Structure 1
């Protein structure tokens, strides 16, 4: 049985909420309100949602590594076929649905769904290379040459980062085998991240979206899983660590990225890892009904995929120029509610049943071919 950790779900929920608010703020604007509806520091913080993506990377590194350790006992014994099969089952069904909606509306030339290059429309055939880049883990690289060419697809750069991590982690572990070599590889990624970002400070598509710009956060998550495999803080120490890390995350988030492009992401990742380490003291906290943040965390993948589709549709209905500041907060609430509804429907009717069906098929194939079997077939990533 897969026991969820409510503290980690809450952190993931906070991370996706940061991303949602960022994209709404970029679309409709939330700062410089003459009505002073919200404190200025909170309005500025709405634009720091890319730190939320960094928190996602840390959580992914931790969860995938810790789950692999529980399933196979040692990273060197990861079953490649099973690992990739479980990732495909979890990621692909909802992603294919999201991409189908974007392509359909884009081909129909619906604004905010079609491709463009500096205001110049690109042919519908450009969707072929765009979708291929998403499905083969190099959409972030395509953006480095094409720029922000599609309003909806632009946000899927982070999926390419995670997919490349999913591709490389089991291969690296099978090749390196020894724990200290795996930890050394993670350490190298942690060092490479700030160095890479320092070389591309002037171009956000490079210093925020490049593989090396993000792998350090994932590596920090992986190291956290390796370290907490043999050490977890006690209940009191864990609670203290979560509070300190939570305050640090808040302070770093409010401070913002500006002027901190090189190490800002590193510190967010370290604080997120500290929070996760503190959360390992409460593994039994997954019982009971989830709160709002936990619910967001459990549906973060569907929220991530479909929020931009909801926002693009909203932008076709509600013009920013005609929207007063007093009206923007209600529209933000409506956007969050519509996104949550879409995510819930997709999770219930697409992601969860497709995930379960594909895993049953994969397990059946593994049973029929024992040479490909491995791990704990009942566990879930």
Structure 2
């Protein structure tokens, strides 16, 4: 069963829109649930809900589900990322065989680079200042090497070989997997040229997840953070985007059935993970990615205005800010836990520290989005992407 301790991970998912260019409320909701589970996981590693007085009122399974599904949430997001980025590429190019390499890489760079460079700069400064919880001090690790690993998209490998980095750095492991996938993905699309050639490759990668994880069992960190298992989840999302392009609409009953199947599978993974591990071992990760894909497709094909997630705007807002919250939430978590310990708070009331932590994570993510990621992305795209022909013609 995947390790529940010392792990983290998130990544970006493009602009959040689907093939028609509009945001999808259901997918944003799933993203919001995923990033919320990651934040709860990182708080829960330090202040466990099952050790607070909530255990007297709430089921143990629920408390464990809230605290220990961060790793699974990352794989849900990998599926979403594959679906969204491929859907947008299909919308712009018509087919993956016509994908514009320059534009694809420009969009990825403008989305990823500003926040990533800022995060690495801040973490480096905190290390040099000797701030507790931010100093890289494990034997065999160094600040220059961590910077190279983060910007060279192999921080996951670096941790697998040397051990966990401080939490602020550790979150970048999933970004390494995602960006290496997207560096090669458009090139593979142009080389294969045909969906019937590309699809079997994606299917093989997607269903390899249980075996690639099992093959890495001798190294717990690398098993969690290796490239192939994460890429298998991304490939699952890419396949979903190809299905969505092939069938723009489906009968309402099909979308509903997919939603029920996906929700059931996700419930089993979150609440019955121990039982699934005993019966399926690494196969339960395949159930996770399949369930995530069912929910993504159900959201894509859901009739407009009749979605069951209406009224959950706060969680959808977490989804829209998922990249920014993911990169920055450890600053809040570290500060909250440090304050909790400094005040000698009673563990029974530890759940109360979640109350300021969650809105602060959202506020910090919102500030980063408003003042850094969106303005920087807009400026970079204006410089790196060609002006649309229609807007280039004088009135």
Deviation at 1:139, TM superposition (A): 0.6
Q: Show the counterpart of 1:253.
A: 270
Tell me if structure 1 keeps the 8 A contact 2:207–2:286. Answer: no
Q: Show the counterpart of 1:277.
A: 297
Q: Distance in 2 between matches of 1:274 and 1:289?
A: 22
Higher mean displacement: 53-62 or 30-39? 30-39
Deviation at 1:188, TM superposition (A): 2.0
Tell me if structure 1 keeps the 8 A contact 2:79–2:292. Answer: yes
Q: Distance in 2 between matches of 1:324 and 1:233?
A: 53
**Length-normalised TM-score, structure 2:** 0.86
Q: Show the counterpart of 1:370.
A: none
Deviation at 1:324, TM superposition (A): 2.0
Deviation at 1:246, TM superposition (A): 1.4
Decide which of 318, 324, 327 is 1:302's aligned counterpart.
Answer: 324
Q: Show the counterpart of 1:351.
A: 373
Tell me how many residue pairs correspond in the alignment: 365
Q: SS of 1:152's equivalent? A: helix
Distance 1:58 1:328, change over 3 A: same
Distance 1:192 1:26, change over 3 A: same
Deviation at 1:313, TM superposition (A): 2.5
Distance 1:348 1:199, change over 3 A: same
Q: Show the counterpart of 2:83.
A: 62
Tell me if structure 2 keeps the 8 A contact 1:201–1:261. Answer: no
Higher mean displacement: 130-139 or 230-239? 230-239
Q: SS of 2:291's equivalent? A: helix
Deviation at 1:134, TM superposition (A): 1.4
- C-alpha root-mean-square deviation of aligned residues, in Å? 2.6
Q: Show the counterpart of 2:31.
A: 12
Distance 1:136 1:72, change over 3 A: same
Q: Show the counterpart of 2:12.
A: none
Deviation at 1:145, TM superposition (A): 0.8
* CA shift digits 1:328-377 (9 cap, x unpaired): 222112111111000010101111111111111112xx35xxxxx99x99
Q: Distance in 2 between matches of 1:298 and 1:105?
A: 28
Tell me if structure 2 keeps the 8 A contact 1:90–1:351. Answer: yes
Q: Distance in 1 between matches of 2:391 and 2:343?
A: 54
Deviation at 1:315, TM superposition (A): 3.1
Written as runs of structure 1 = structure 2, the 5 A alignment for 1:1-381 is 2-33=21-52, 36-45=56-65, 46-117=67-138, 126-231=142-247, 232-256=249-273, 259=278, 261-282=281-302, 284=304, 291-319=313-341, 322-363=344-385, 366-367=386-387
Deviation at 1:235, TM superposition (A): 3.2
Structure 2 runs not aligned, ≥5 long: 1-19
Q: Distance in 2 between matches of 1:184 and 1:269?
A: 17
Tell me if structure 2 keeps the 8 A contact 1:14–1:297. Answer: yes
Deviation at 1:171, TM superposition (A): 1.0
Q: Distance in 1 between matches of 2:270 and 2:219?
A: 21
* CA shift digits 1:52-95 (9 cap, x unpaired): 00100000111111111111001011111110000111111122
**Length-normalised TM-score, structure 1:** 0.89
Q: Distance in 2 between matches of 1:149 and 1:252?
A: 28
Tell me if structure 1 keeps the 8 A contact 2:51–2:347. Answer: no
Deviation at 1:251, TM superposition (A): 1.8
Deviation at 1:290, TM superposition (A): 6.8
Q: Distance in 2 between matches of 1:343 and 1:19?
A: 14
Q: Distance in 1 between matches of 2:300 and 2:204?
A: 25
Deviation at 1:289, TM superposition (A): 8.8
Tell me if structure 2 keeps the 8 A contact 1:206–1:213. Answer: no
Q: SS of 2:161's equivalent? A: helix
Tell me if structure 1 keeps the 8 A contact 2:205–2:235. Answer: yes
Higher mean displacement: 301-310 or 24-33? 24-33
